[in-house]
Amino acid sequence: MHPPLTSFDIGEIPFSIRGSWLNLSPVVALHTRASDVHLVSHKNGMHAVLAMRPERDGVEVATQWVGEPSHFEWRAADGGVVTAAFDGLDVVRLRGTGLGMRLSDAGGGLTPFTGCYLFTDPVDGAPVFTSYETGRRYRVTMLSGSSHVIGSEALGIADRGVVLGGAGDSWEAAVEETTSAAPPYRRERTFEQVSANAGAAFRSYLESIAPWRTDATPAAARAAYVLWSATVAPEGLVKRESILMSKHWMDKLWSWDHCFNALALAPGLPDVALDQFLAPFDHQDAAGAMPDSITHSEVLYNYVKPPIHGWALLRLRDSLGRTLTTTELENIYERLAGWSTFWLDRRRRPGHPLPYYQHGNDSGWDNATTFDRDRVVEAPDLAGFLILQLEVLDDLAIELGRPAPHWKTARDELLDALLGQLWDGSGFVAVGALTGQRSSSTSLLALLPLVLGDRLPEEVRAVLVDRLRDHLTPYGPATEPVTSEHYEDDGYWRGPIWAPSTALIEDGLRQSGHDDLADAVRERFLRLCERSGFAENFDARTGDGLRDRAYTWTAAVYLLFARSITGSTQ
């Protein structure tokens, strides 16, 4: 029996649709929540364009917010309601009964370079907001009922808005994001059809990626909605359909988060999963380095992210709903080869086999205690990931009929260096690449070489597993032990529980023969998400969600774990 997807809290999860760069949410900026819902665009960054306030006779009306995949509602206590639904990727349809809606410039408009300018289009009489921040226009077309415009052609500080619906009447409108010019909006489907189509699209997606869900995995449908609604169509610098980390302020694709999202989609949507895996490689530079992150209008190269892509490819091929073609494998091989060569050629000191991070941001663990003494470090997780990636490359080269023994040679040299230079008998350490000093960090990051499994000596694995117990809480593995003097409840990578570290540790435990402990880690994370949602990270003591509250890699890891407990391969 499949548990239904109940309504969700729009304060936690934005209302959107697969492919759109728009959403509705009260979250309008970094750690900033408004008292009302806004139309938010993620083109040229995250920008709250229009405030959306239910009103009657010019007076704002308090409403309850109810979100479902097909539609979103503002419900007044006296029965008045405004409903929103996505009509394709760039149009939000609005319908009101007994309640009007004021759409207001959310940007201020102090200068020509902030907020919106509002004018009436002479062609069809539609009011149009033009936003400097997004570089787009937002045209409001009345489909039925009355409306009036406030502050048309006003400059500087002014009240600019469009009021939809009169006193107690029923009305319908469309808000459309456009570029410089577009034909007048024409209604082709009823509101009911628009809503039904969105709901059907989500149900199809859900059945593709989580057909195995049961009462034992009650958050699977909501996790699928987080992924579905955070997906954007190719546009700007995003070259293929991609899942952002969030349609809150973390609206980027970082070059390691995409791996976890790809794995969640692999059995049911293999082509989509492959796109997720390859998306950052579209911006691989001449040195072979991956970008740090990608957005609609920005690609950053000031940092990189850890080379977990060999690890991810192994898991992807194990679960992908089809066989990769020779052409696809050759493409992946070339990408991984360039990425690995970057670390071997550009991130090793002369005469030293171990690669280094230049900053915690390179590791994805920005402020982990591993980087307290030195920022530029030869780190054990980096070596472990690269060892796996080199092994994958060696196997791929043989599979493609183009053996390249240098991958295995580099892999063996790196494994020897990991054990010979970063293992001190009680655990792995990081070493300053410039100072040669060893880190005394107690970060969970030092345990990530567990992903190497039996490539590590049994005694090394035993010590790592024993040290892991210091990190375990009722909610999962804390990134810094709660007993550490450096632990912080909301310390980012200095304590909170994160999905990617949990997934890597869980997999490492299985690769190392500790299935019982891996089962416990998996079970705790599942219950954590069911209790606290899909937050960016979680307080290790209380289990409360922290930071961005609709994070896709958290939802993805939930789906990975949930699928595994059902025993499904689909």
Instruction: Single out the residue of 34, 73, 70, 67 nearest to residue 50, CA to CA.
Output: 34
Residues 236-252: pLDDT tens digits? Answer: 999 999 999 999 999 99
Q: Note the pLDDT of residue 493.
A: 98
| Three-class SS state of 431 | strand
- Residue 71 parent element (H or E): none
In this structure, how many other beta carbons lie within 10 angstroms of the beta carbon of residue 331? 15
Q: Which residues contact 52 (CB under 8 A, 6 or more apart)?
A: 24, 36, 37, 38, 39, 101, 102, 103
DSSP 15-26: B--TB-SEEEEE
Q: What's the distance, Cα to Cα, between the start and end of the chain in Å?
A: 16
Question: What structural domains does the chain harbor?
Answer: 22-198 (no CATH), 240-565 (1.50.10.10)
Task: Give residues with Cβ within 8 angstroms of 36, minimum separation 6.
Answer: 26, 51, 52, 53
pTM above 0.75, yes or no: yes
* pLDDT score recorded for residue 113: 56
Measured distance CA(504)–CA(482) in Å, rounded: 20
DSSP assignment of 207-263 equals: HHH-TT--TTSTTHHHHHHHHHHTEE-SBTTB-S-EE-S-SSS---EETTHHHHHHH
Nearest to 353 by CA among 424, 426, 433, 288: 433
Q: What is the 3-state secondary structure (H, E, C) of 99-121?
A: CEEEEEECCCCCCCCCCEEEEEC
Sign of CA dihedral 495, 465, 563, 565: negative
Unique residue bearing structure tokens 């909605």: 225
What are the two backbone dihedrals, phi and then psi, of residue 300, each rounded to the nearest 5 degrees? -105, 135
Per-residue confidence (pLDDT) for residue 351, from 0 to 100: 92
Provide the pLDDT for residue 166.
73
pLDDT of 13: 97
Residues of the chain with pLDDT under 50: 1, 110
pLDDT of residue 1: 47
Q: How far apart are CA 550 and CA 40, in angstroms?
A: 15
Spatial distance between the Cα atoms of 277 and 279, rounded to a whole number of angstroms: 6
Q: Over the Cα atoms of the chain, what is R_g?
A: 25
β-bridge partners, 92? 86, 175
Alpha-carbon torsion (500, 26, 118, 121), positive or negative = positive
Nearest to 372 by CA among 380, 360, 364: 360
Q: What are the tens digits of pLDDT across the range 102-160?
A: 999 877 654 555 788 999 999 889 999 999 899 999 999 999 999 999 988 878 777 88
The Cα-based distances of 382 to 305, 377, 389, 428, 470 in angstroms read: 10, 10, 11, 12, 22
Instruction: Kindly give, in sequence order, each residue whose CB lies less than 8 Å from that of residue 66, ignoring residues fewer than 6 positions away.
Output: 7, 72, 73, 75
- Per the listing, tokens 């459309």 go with 176
Helix ranges restricted to H, 266-303: 270-278
Q: Output the CA–CA distances (angstroms, integers) from residue 368 to 59, 233, 334, 495, in the order listed.
A: 50, 34, 32, 9
